[in-house]
């Protein structure tokens, strides 16, 4: 049938939205750990050697890169995908309801003609 080729499984789309929400929650947890759980305080690598400050500075730079360029971008990407998938789900659901209403209306009016 021709209409089967255009069929959208709304349950699957809903499942995708839920899974993306879970991934986003996990990402936010990971992001929080990266921000607060990776602090390298002064003296934690030892004291009295020249490279200690440079190591901490490099650590802070890498930490900032991971937070801004990796985790934040991934969170935004997943959030955007979740919103678009949710919007698509809603649009298909609305169209399915409109089609069903139109068919019921057409069916009812054709019954009235021939009654």
Residues 18-27 have pLDDT tens digits of 999 898 888 8
At residue 1, the pLDDT reads: 40
pTM: 0.66
**21-55 per-position pLDDT tens digit:** 898 888 888 777 777 777 778 888 888 888 888 88
At residue 26, the pLDDT reads: 86
**Exposure string over 10-49, b if 16+ CB within 10 A, otherwise e:** eeebeebbeebeebbeebeeebeeeeeeeeeeeeeeeeee
What's the whole-number mean pLDDT along residues 93-98? 88
Query: What does DSSP assign to residue 6?
Result: G
């Amino acid at each position: 049938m021709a209409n089967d080729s255009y069929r959208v499984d709304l349950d699957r789309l809903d499942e995708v939205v839920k899974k993306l929400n879970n991934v986003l929650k996990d990402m936010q947890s990971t992001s929080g750990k990266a921000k607060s759980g990776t602090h390298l305080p002064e003296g934690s690598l030892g004291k009295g050697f020249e490279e200690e400050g440079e190591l901490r500075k490099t650590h802070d730079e890498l930490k900032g890169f991971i937070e801004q360029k990796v985790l934040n971008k991934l969170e935004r990407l997943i959030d955007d995908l979740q919103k678009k998938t949710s919007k698509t789900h809603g649009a298909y659901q609305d169209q399915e309801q409109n089609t069903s209403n139109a068919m019921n209306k057409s069916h009812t009016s054709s019954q009235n003609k021939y009654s």
